[in-house]
Amino acid sequence: MYFRYITVIMVFAHLQSLFAEKQDTSSVTILKEVTVMGSYGRDIDREITLPVAVADKKFLTEHFRGNIMQTLEYVGGVRSMDIGSGFSKPMIRGMGFNRIAVVENGIKHEGQQWGSDHGLEIDAFAVDRVVIRKGPSSLLFGSDAMGGVIEIQTPKTPLENLFYGEVSILGKSVNETFAESVMMGLKRGVYNVKFRFTSQDYGDYKIPADTVVYLTQRMTVDNRKLKNTAGLERDASILMEYEKGRHSGNITISNTFQKSGFFTGAHGVPDATRLRDDGDNRNIDLPYSTVNHLKITAQRQLKNDNFAITWNLGYQNNRRKELSIFHTHYGNQAAPTENPDLELYFSLVTLDMAMKSEWLPCDRLKHSFGWDVQGQDNNIAGYSFLLPEFKRFSAGVFYLASFKMTDKLTFDGGLRVNYGKIKLSGYSDIYLSDYLYRRGYPDSVTDEYRWRGYPVERAFSDLAASFGLIWQANDYGLLKVNLGRSFRMPGANELSSNGVHHSAFRHEQGTPVLDSEKGWQADVAYTFQNDGIGLSLSPFFNLFENYIYLKPTGLWSLLPHAGQIYLYTGARAVFTGAEAELNIDFTKKMTYHFAGEYVYTHNLDENTPMSFSPPASIRNSLILRHGNIRLSAELQSIATQNRVSKNEDPTKGTNLIHLSATLITALARVSLSVYNLTDNAYYNHLSFYRKAQIPEPGRNVQLLINIPLKRKMK
């Protein structure tokens, strides 16, 4: 029902903007918003009261790692939760999963981001500029943005008529990666069309260790390669843009397909014989996962001297499969006749529509108003069960005002009202019911466990607010302060999951009566820039009234081979910390860069740290430039993380050395990098495989070649 309404509104809105475009014949005007002169990052920093960082094309190329999140780890406060060597998911200031919104072309990227083994389905080669908003962003972006936003912006359109493109080639030694990406574009008059295709293939990755431990069993790793961690990725996208007079618009169609193996020593029951070398480092055997993400977005904008209105429409279909040789813990469950090895399947369809308008009645005042609507439908299949089918609807409206009191002092404040509804289908497991009955459990226990998913229908209404100021003390210093209240609707997994999550090594159980997460946040950011010296400091403090997390219950699950039950529950929690950066240009050819970050978390109800708390870390970098050559050396220091939650292992710290050399010519940009030069064996506290005591990839030599293509046209 929700989808019908949203689809009708989306079609009507899009036709309305098309009709308006045909009626306009006025000249080009410029909106007084962000002036793209000099540093875009510095300009936008003066517009937003939250701490913000901009990763432009130059930054992304210099730190490119093959996936977008590992690349963005060079931004203070941003970390990646890694899944093997191929995929990662974002974390900002200790918060991840559904607390971080990833926005692409104005639409929130929606997949199965609730799982620790679910990566981000975005082509890293296609990203030209990213704006990272650190801190509560629920006011502008709604639920799932209470921890921050990673906003992937549409690439800048060329000003002149030309044929342009780029060929990129990537190679890595640690997992024998070979990737190529080809982009071609044509700008002609008011039209711009750009197409990109990317292909990545990689093999089992190397680790600096001979053994790993899974479920207390130590197992040998042949040739120091994790068997069945190979994978592949295929991405295709097309962007079509139109700009004439006061009107502009674009349509983007993208499809991402990923396939990756699960390390056989960390999936299911431990078996050392499954780790024996099969002689092929690039094959992908069972168990493995596939994901296909189709996204279609459309944007229309109408603007004049003091007014702009933007429409964003989006359709997404995320289909994830987890395959494993059919196995049953119940004697009466037969293998399915179709797709017998399909263990779990999730198909999530998302429809989005959003509108934002900005009005500048005078030079000192700006009003922003907007609303957004989203509908989701998730279907499931497979011989196993973890998450029920569900339908989800959310809508919100916001208002934000910015007042420039003086040339040096600006205030802003806003309010958002949000409504959401979720309907979860029930799921009764007849095989589990019979299994418990045959073992003599009473009817009350049998009936309780057979309902793996209770039918639940919940509605939520929430309020987000913010107040901030920007003080430009002088030409060198900038101070920003922001106070905010944010929220997040509980996800379907937190309300109604109930099953063995093999890839996370636990029985996860939802709580149908959970309330929304609500938090109060305070952020301060100070930046100083003068005579080749740049300094920034960003402390923050977050207090959550109902932070939802997985709590070990101490109760043994009755599901076979399930272990302990982990229950989704809420608690009062504190997240606080800071980021600091220092940049010194000793000469025009030599630069020193320091970046450090620290996050402190505390569960006020349990008096313990929160799980998945990133350890403190610092980076010391020295960059040398001479003509068209750039050299860099970095010492990355990661502290020991002893502040862990219950049943979470501490992680020992380490020091890593990274080197890079880049040659830039008119024909190509060639970069050779070495990561983890000394081949240290260390653990990433946020890694998917950390639970199995699997260290991070060893020494990695990476070669990246970018070949630009450009030809002017009459």
The answer on pLDDT for 25 being more than 60 is: no
- Contact in structure between 621 and 634 (CB atoms under 8 Å): yes
The answer on pLDDT for 36 being more than 60 is: no
CA distance 168 to 636: 27
pLDDT at 23: 38
CA distance 435 to 444: 14
Torsion of CA 598, 94, 549, 563, to 10 degrees: -80
pLDDT at 2: 42
Closest Cα to residue 613, out of 685, 557, 669? 685
Which stretch of 124-128, 230-234, 659-663, 687-691 has the lowest confidence by average pLDDT? 687-691
Question: Coil, strand or helix: which one is 72?
Answer: helix
pLDDT at 40: 67
Which stretch of 265-279, 398-412, 611-625, 629-643 has the lowest confidence by average pLDDT? 265-279
Mean residue pLDDT of the chain comes to 88
pLDDT at 502: 62
pLDDT at 89: 85
Closest Cα to residue 407, out of 358, 475, 467? 475
Residue with the larger pLDDT of the pair 402 and 17 = 402
> pLDDT tier at 127 (50, 70, 90 boundaries)?
very high
pLDDT at 694: 87
- Contact in structure between 572 and 517 (CB atoms under 8 Å): no
CA distance 385 to 339: 15
Report CA 403 to chain centroid distance, whole Å: 32
Report CA 188 to chain centroid distance, whole Å: 34
pLDDT at 505: 61
Side chain identity at 466, as an amino acid letter? S
> pLDDT tier at 554 (50, 70, 90 boundaries)?
confident
Total structural domains within the chain: 1
Whether the pTM exceeds 0.85: the reply is yes
The answer on pLDDT for 247 being more than 60 is: yes
What is the mean predicted confidence (pLDDT) over 540-562? 85
Q: What is the CATH number of the domain that holds 680?
A: 2.40.170.20
Closest Cα to residue 138, out of 50, 41, 231? 50
> pLDDT tier at 646 (50, 70, 90 boundaries)?
confident
Q: Where would I find the H helices in 191-305?
A: none
Can you spell out the DSSP letters for 537-587?
A: EEEEEEEEEEEEEEEEEEEEPSSTT--EEEEEEEEEEEEEEEEEEEEEESS
Residue with the larger pLDDT of the pair 499 and 56 = 56
Which stretch of 227-231, 465-469, 691-695 has the lowest confidence by average pLDDT? 691-695
pLDDT at 295: 98
CA distance 630 to 627: 8
What is the mean predicted confidence (pLDDT) over 635-664? 94
Which stretch of 30-44, 71-85, 161-175 has the lowest confidence by average pLDDT? 30-44
pLDDT at 576: 97
The answer on pLDDT for 266 being more than 70 is: no
Tokens of 640: 């020991």
Closest Cα to residue 157, out of 301, 312, 315? 301
* Main-chain phi, psi angles of 49, to 5 degrees: -75, -20
Would you call the peptide bond into 287 cis, given omega within 30 degrees of 0 as the criterion?
yes
- Find the domain containing 57 and state its range: 2-712
The answer on pLDDT for 24 being more than 80 is: no
* Main-chain phi, psi angles of 62, to 5 degrees: -65, -30
Instruction: Tell me which residue has tokens 């050779």.
Output: 672
CA distance 241 to 158: 11
Can you spell out the DSSP letters for 367-394?
A: EEEEEEEEEEEEEEESSS-SS--EEEEE
> Per-residue pLDDT tens for 56-94?
999 999 999 988 999 999 999 999 887 776 678 889 999
CA distance 460 to 363: 39
CA distance 546 to 549: 9
The answer on pLDDT for 13 being more than 70 is: no
The answer on pLDDT for 181 being more than 60 is: yes
- Contact in structure between 66 and 671 (CB atoms under 8 Å): no
* Main-chain phi, psi angles of 276, to 5 degrees: -65, 140
The answer on pLDDT for 214 being more than 80 is: no
The answer on pLDDT for 659 being more than 50 is: yes
**Order of all β-strands in the sheet with 87-92:** 78-83, 87-92, 95-96
What is the mean predicted confidence (pLDDT) over 583-594? 96
Say how many CA atoms lie within 13 Å of 377 toward its Cβ. 9
Which stretch of 87-101, 463-477, 617-631 has the lowest confidence by average pLDDT? 87-101
Closest Cα to residue 355, out of 284, 415, 414, 299? 299
CA distance 615 to 618: 10
pLDDT at 15: 37
Out of 89-98, 472-481, 635-644, give the one with best mean pLDDT.
Answer: 635-644
The answer on pLDDT for 351 being more than 70 is: yes
